[in-house]
Amino acid sequence: MPTASAPAPQPGHPDTTGVEPVSTVAVIGFGTMGSGIAQVCAAAGLDVRVVEPSEAVIERDMAGIARQLGKAVDKGRLDADARDGTLARIAPATELEHAFDADLVIEAIPERLDLKLDLFRALDEGVGPHTVLATNTSALSVTEIAAATTRPERVCGLHWFNPAPVLPLVEVVRAERTDDATLARAYAFVRQVGKHPIVCRDTPGFVVNRILIPVLNDVVGLWDAGLASAQDIDDGCRFGLNWPIGPLALCDLIGLDVAVHAAEALHASTHEPRMAPPAAMVRMVKAGKLGRKSGEGFYDYAGS
């Protein structure tokens, strides 16, 4: 008679003794996350190859990085030489071949499984055998993405948080076939660029979103029911729970469309009712109220 399987062991921190530092990183996809990741890596002294098919996006986001670094110089948090060095280490191009000789490739393209599968197939054919391939997905299966390659043991998740230059956490996601060496190199890389890694299994929402999304959904429901104003709800969490930012202000910061997408993906994966996006937030997205980036969300940013 078969015996029951023992519970899977909790993923622990890998042994990074002797792990070779990463010197060249490729970031696939600019935009908010890709540009932030590229900035962090370049500021840490790594050579960064950015692959972005749109010349207009490259121009826009390189200018955005320059502005962010310029503000840091103006406020005395960064010197001009460090700013110039960071910018010089970011080399954008439109062709995927630009990424092929990197030690580590981080995918930061839109959250569509078909696009990610196509990209990882192409990377699998072009990069060297020891290159680590990482996805920045926040909701899709890393295991499924890895299965598009012939080297699933060399694929992991590196889930950054927005804005990447500010928030210290990166979730290092171990997929079903990620090997110890890949996990250790990814974990060591996160520390190398000055971020704080945590390790988790490949499960919908990983750790943070699995906690955060239902909390945000409940808060939006409370606001929609008229039980308290947005400011009072946020102040309650800031001064009663010691949150650095209120949950509704956080929704505005990350984007209501992003929050709705994450909730929809988690609901589709887990079928848990608490993960479904609240109707009020869906209505706001349909009305173009996306938070800070649109000028209006739970708060009005027109004058800021």
- Domains annotated on the chain, with CATH: 24-201 (3.40.50.720), 209-294 (1.10.1040.10)
Query: Which one of the listed residues 159, 217, 267, 296 is annotated catalytic?
Result: 159
Per-residue confidence (pLDDT) for residue 139, from 0 to 100 = 81
Report whether 120 contacts 146 (CB < 8 A).
Answer: yes
How long is the chain? 304
Nearest CA to 253 out of 284, 282, 218, 291 is that of 291
Token pair of 66 as six digits: 């320059």
- Out of 35, 136, 141, 209, the active site residue is 209
For this structure, is 138 an active site residue?
yes
pLDDT number for residue 303: 72
Sheet hosting strand 132-135, strand order edge to edge: 90-93, 47-51, 24-28, 104-107, 132-135, 155-160, 169-174, 196-201
> What does the pLDDT profile of the chain (304 residues) look like in tens digits?
555 555 555 667 899 999 999 999 999 999 989 999 999 999 999 999 999 999 999 999 999 999 999 999 999 999 999 999 999 999 999 999 999 999 999 999 998 899 999 999 999 999 999 999 999 998 889 999 999 999 999 999 999 998 899 999 999 999 999 999 999 999 999 999 999 999 999 998 999 999 999 999 999 999 999 999 999 999 999 999 999 999 999 999 989 998 998 899 899 988 999 999 999 999 999 999 999 999 999 999 987 6
- Can you give the pLDDT at residue 5? 53
In this prediction, residue 163 carries a pLDDT of: 86
Of 35, 138, 141, 217, the active-site residue reads: 138
Q: Active site includes 242?
A: no
The overall pTM is greater than 0.75: yes
Active-site choice (171, 217, 267, 296): 171
CB atoms closer than 10 angstroms to residue 274: 13
- pLDDT for 269: 87
By CB neighbour count within 10 A (0-12 exposed, 13-18 middle, 19+ buried), where does 64 fall? middle
